[in-house]
Structure 1
Amino acid sequence: MPRLDLAIVTETYPPEVNGVAMTIGRLVEGLRKNGHRVRLVRPRQNAIDAPVIPKDSCRENDLVLPGFPLPGYAGLRFGLPAKRRLCAAWREHRPDAVHVVTEGPLGWSAVAAARSLGIPVTSGFHTNFDRYSRHYGMGWLQPTVAAYLRSFHRRTRATLVPTDTLAASLAGEGLSGVRVVGRGVDVELFDPARRSNALRAEWGLAGADLAVLYVGRVAAEKNIGLALRAFTAIQVHRPGARFILVGDGPLRAKMQQQFPAHHFAGQRLGCDLATHYASADIFLFPSLTETFGNVTQEAMASALTVVAFRSAAAAQMIVDGENGRTITPGDDLAFIQAAALVAQDGQALRKLGERARQSVGACTWGAVSLRFEAVLREAINVAA
């Protein structure tokens, strides 16, 4: 097949640390590895940020545009509208397709620019921003935000989502062209062989003591209070257990003061992050705002027993009682009880963890990149 010439517009990208940035970074890497040309359009991340020359070309640069900090998300930015600039760039070098990752001002103007030039445009549905509003005292905005998101994606030829459940939900709301692409996990990086007794000792654990892990943004929309309550229930049966929280966010400082016995590891990356996963025993993930939740697959690849609500990645990847525990969404008491129950049986923990790792073995980023490419080719062929 002929190689593609693509423009990918995103308001977050590595080295920013979040699930969307990581996912898009992996997809771009996969596309370039397969010989395709990819030109990124993104906001400038800091004062010294400059266009980066892609590996597949010494001529075409990423297009880096002005941006402003995203309220409540330190270190992240949103792009300003740039339709005129994008039209000029894409007239000079016309891509085969434009893929828009985020629904901010830059993303909206990218869709408008592509449509005005007759370039096939697709979009990704990565974040349930409408659900976030109620966690920040703005629940009254939820219908407005939801309507905006649906309007945004109706203007694109295809909307890429990570799970069958989300695809069915959006299709049920009248959104056509929804395609499931999925998410991958690096099983060589996230490997139980990285388990470190030295790190566990730093956490204050000895022998068979239990390490209970949370990885993610330390923020209200992650429902992190439920994880804290579940850990309290675990301590009734395993008093030597320790709660390890990896990540940063607006609630971290307050929680560190309120829970000084818990270990707040901050943001961790690469092998360091993988070692933190592998050195734990149980992974608690109580979020109900995810479209996927890459951390779920990372924990499973690390052979942890995951306790999560039956939504997003957990609904897609976990069979309750076979390779983890999933709970009916919103049933907080059942979530707490499930966490306390699995913590009592070390042998069951090990079996669930081993099966979890086995179940994600085929979820490679290479396969996801090929699926992503197939959806873009479909959009291009429909437009031809």
Structure 2
Amino acid sequence: MNERASQSPLRLTVVTETYPPEINGVANTMRHLVEGFRDRGHQLHLVRPRQAGERAGHLAAPIEQTLVPGVPIPGYRGLRLGLPVYWRLRRLWGRQRPDLIYIATQGPLGHAALAAAVALRVPAVTGFHTQFQQYSRHYGLGFLTRQITNTLRHFHNRSDATLVPTAELRAELTAAGFTNVQVFGRGVDVTLFAPTRRLEALRASWGCGPDDLAVLYVGRVAAEKNLELARETFAAIEMQQPSARFVLVGDGPALAGLHRDHPRFICTGARVGEDLAAHYASGDLFLFPSLTETFGNVVTEAMASALPVVAFDYAAAHAAIVSGVNGVTAPMGDRAGFVAAGLSAIQDRGRLRALGEAARRTALHMSWERVLGGVEQLLYEVIRRRQGDPEPTPAAAAVPE
């Protein structure tokens, strides 16, 4: 009998302040986590803020939910912070105790959920999905970086384990004093994101003929994404290939200014599902200059679409790209190196296609099923450890104000 067959299904609660149809990497990962564990036979309960104007039935299949009040996040249109409903969660979990609570976000709802879990002595695992301490530098708050790091460390160290997407980030956080950091890798949907979704009609709408170069960026259009470097790289590419087009897929606070200052750029707004997959597959080169990712799901989505990626050598790019084989990377923070990487990729269209084909082959080995199997075993181990520790945690008395 295999190990999984001998383990009972779990009652799992996932607490997150973002979930589809909201569009971001954390929401996407939470959907795969919730639906994947449900499909593996576990009982899932989702706790999240009620979304503004959300429509009924957007979940792929019925999942038990508790919706809590939320408030808009300044600068993040469409996203909401959950309010700190500590007593509501404590009553809920006191009546129907989960085997384990996974807390994906560090907002007021996440803090309340962790405090309630600790008070009830329910095993709790937190996710480190966003580099908040790095974002501060892009919004004139760099002086708060150390304070934010300290706050995050205090939060995560009260949980039984903290899950991060890469071994690289695990080493970084461990060196910063975070304890019991484990890797929760990322998969990619290679059926949705595939080169067969390429559409010549979509390319034509961008002004690209069959032999013209379409350069893509997909993601949030915001200061922390380092898009000035993408613009600089495309300008260098355009000098060599004047018919090239730069297509930006996504939304964010910098979108209006970017479109105003660069009217020739094609700004499509946010895209989802098969529409997003067609945009990836219809491109020829993907520029991803961000320096603030915990992973960067767009990198593996582009690779699955046979779209060669130019990125800095960290996070998803470090984990998945062998530079010059299935993409091109530059040393972390090397702006000139990034521009040079973009230029090198376009010199030979045959090589560019070969990079994309190799990227697709790499993505085919990055299944969500394998990723979730590893996380499942980690959660069982957390529960086993807690069952062997009858003493209450010192933080059990902590109650948020």
Verify the 8 A CA contact 1:37 1:56 in the aligned structure 2: no
Amino acid corresponding to residue 246 of structure 1 in structure 2? V
Verify the 8 A CA contact 1:6 1:39 in the aligned structure 2: yes
What is the number of equivalent residue pairs in this alignment?
Answer: 381
Question: 1:242-279: CA deviations, max 9, x gaps?
Answer: 00000000011111111111110111111110000001
Verify the 8 A CA contact 2:21 2:58 in the aligned structure 1: no
Give, in whole Å, the separation in 2 of the partners of 1:279 and 1:51.
Answer: 30
- 1:264 maps to 2:267: yes
Verify the 8 A CA contact 1:120 1:383 in the aligned structure 2: yes
- 1:251 maps to 2:254: yes
Question: How far did residue 51 of structure 1 move?
Answer: 10
Amino acid corresponding to residue 378 of structure 1 in structure 2? E
Amino acid corresponding to residue 192 of structure 2 in structure 1? L
Report the counterpart of residue 73 of structure 1 in structure 2: 76
Question: How far did residue 372 of structure 1 move?
Answer: 1.9
Question: How far did residue 332 of structure 1 move?
Answer: 0.2
Verify the 8 A CA contact 1:211 1:244 in the aligned structure 2: yes
Question: 1:304-353: CA deviations, max 9, x gaps?
Answer: 11000001100111111111111111110110011012112101101111
Verify the 8 A CA contact 1:79 1:106 in the aligned structure 2: yes
Give, in whole Å, the separation in 1 of the partners of 2:45 and 2:59.
Answer: 9
Give, in whole Å, the separation in 1 of the partners of 2:49 and 2:252.
Answer: 21
Superposition pairs of residues 197-236 of structure 1, within 5 angstroms: 197-236=200-239
Compared CA separation, residues 298 and 265, structure 1 to 2 (3 A): same
Compared CA separation, residues 52 and 243, structure 1 to 2 (3 A): closer
Q: 1:363 aligned to 357, 363, 366, which one?
A: 366
Question: How far did residue 207 of structure 1 move?
Answer: 2.3
Compare 92-101 and 40-49 and name the one that shifted more: 40-49
Amino acid corresponding to residue 282 of structure 1 in structure 2? L
Identity of aligned residues (%): 52
SS of the equivalent of 1:244 reads strand
Report the counterpart of residue 136 of structure 1 in structure 2: 139
Give, in whole Å, the separation in 2 of the partners of 1:299 and 1:276.
Answer: 10
Give, in whole Å, the separation in 1 of the partners of 2:54 and 2:78.
Answer: 14
Q: Output the aligned Cα RMSD.
A: 1.5
Compare 2-11 and 169-178 and name the one that shifted more: 169-178
Question: 1:266-304: CA deviations, max 9, x gaps?
Answer: 111111100000010100000000000000000001111
Verify the 8 A CA contact 1:51 1:64 in the aligned structure 2: no
Give, in whole Å, the separation in 2 of the partners of 1:369 and 1:283.
Answer: 27
SS of the equivalent of 1:150 reads helix
TM-score (norm 2): 0.93
Question: How far did residue 171 of structure 1 move?
Answer: 1.4
- 1:42 maps to 2:45: no
- 1:26 maps to 2:29: no
Question: How far did residue 56 of structure 1 move?
Answer: 6.8
Give, in whole Å, the separation in 2 of the partners of 1:153 and 1:268.
Answer: 33
Give, in whole Å, the separation in 1 of the partners of 2:97 and 2:14.
Answer: 13
Question: How far did residue 52 of structure 1 move?
Answer: 9.1
Q: 1:327 aligned to 309, 326, 330, which one?
A: 330
Report the counterpart of residue 297 of structure 1 in structure 2: 300
Report the counterpart of residue 98 of structure 2 in structure 1: 95
Amino acid corresponding to residue 229 of structure 2 in structure 1? L
Give, in whole Å, the separation in 2 of the partners of 1:92 and 1:228.
Answer: 54
TM-score (norm 1): 0.97
SS of the equivalent of 2:333 reads coil
- 1:274 maps to 2:280: no
Compared CA separation, residues 346 and 144, structure 1 to 2 (3 A): same
Question: How far did residue 13 of structure 1 move?
Answer: 0.6
SS of the equivalent of 1:253 reads helix
Give, in whole Å, the separation in 2 of the partners of 1:287 and 1:54.
Answer: 31
- 1:145 maps to 2:151: no
Report the counterpart of residue 5 of structure 1 in structure 2: 11
Compared CA separation, residues 364 and 110, structure 1 to 2 (3 A): same
Give, in whole Å, the separation in 1 of the partners of 2:246 and 2:180.
Answer: 43
Amino acid corresponding to residue 29 of structure 2 in structure 1? T
Compared CA separation, residues 52 and 238, structure 1 to 2 (3 A): closer
SS of the equivalent of 1:300 reads helix
Compare 43-52 and 367-376 and name the one that shifted more: 43-52
Compared CA separation, residues 338 and 317, structure 1 to 2 (3 A): same
Question: How far did residue 174 of structure 1 move?
Answer: 2.1
Gapped runs of 5+ residues in structure 1? Answer: none
